[in-house]
């Protein structure tokens, strides 16, 4: 009886060890902790890797929280924003960016995702022509309240992209 209990204990300890090792190896969970707008505006390039966008780990969220609060209010304090926080513009900007891409996509053969953070619009994904990046940025800059547009794109969807990936940032 004693050896049977010992065997069960060893088996349980082994299973717990394996479970702990599996958890230690799995990537940390990511979430859009700050609720930044993130959406796709085109999907015409096969195998284009999905960018990480605003998805962060809990540790990254803690690291970014103070800086985001500080940068968000600085805009208003120095008189560049009418709203008390530059992040307060992001949802309106996101709706307007979606509308301009529906009306006129300067890169029709593309797969693009948009992240809006603090009046800055990041456009990441795949395009068929490298010259599309400047056209995309110019289009986004026509949206009211956009402070900056940054297109981070690749013409090679199967190569490692120039942006962080949602699957393995």
- Domain locations in the chain as residue ranges: 2-154
Q: What is the pLDDT of residue 91?
A: 98
Distance (Å) of CA 8 to CA 3, 13, 16, 79: 9, 9, 12, 68
Separation CA 123–CA 95 (nearest Å): 14
Q: Over the chain (169 residues), what is each successive 10-residue block's mean pLDDT?
A: 55 49 66 96 96 95 92 89 93 98 94 98 96 96 97 96 85
The pTM assigned to this predicted structure is 0.83
Helix (H, G, I), strand (E, B) or coil at 106: coil
- Give per-residue burial for 41-52: e unless 16+ CB within 10 Å, then b: bbeebeebbbbb
């Amino acid at each position: 009886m004693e050896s049977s209990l010992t065997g069960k204990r060893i088996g349980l300890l082994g299973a717990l060890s394996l479970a702990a090792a599996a958890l230690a190896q799995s990537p940390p969970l990511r979430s859009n902790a700050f609720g930044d707008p993130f959406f796709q505006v085109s999907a015409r390039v096969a195998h284009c890797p999905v960018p990480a966008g605003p998805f962060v780990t809990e540790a990254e969220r803690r690291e970014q929280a103070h800086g985001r609060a500080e940068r968000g209010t600085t805009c208003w304090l120095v008189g560049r924003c009418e709203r008390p926080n530059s992040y307060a513009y992001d949802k309106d900007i996101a709706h307007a960016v979606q509308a301009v891409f529906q009306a006129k996509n300067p890169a029709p053969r593309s797969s693009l995702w948009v992240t809006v953070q603090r009046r800055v619009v990041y456009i990441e994904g795949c395009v068929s022509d490298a010259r599309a990046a400047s056209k995309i940025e110019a289009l986004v800059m026509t949206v009211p309240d956009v402070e900056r547009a940054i297109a981070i794109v690749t013409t090679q969807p199967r190569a490692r992209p120039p942006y962080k990936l949602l699957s393995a940032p």
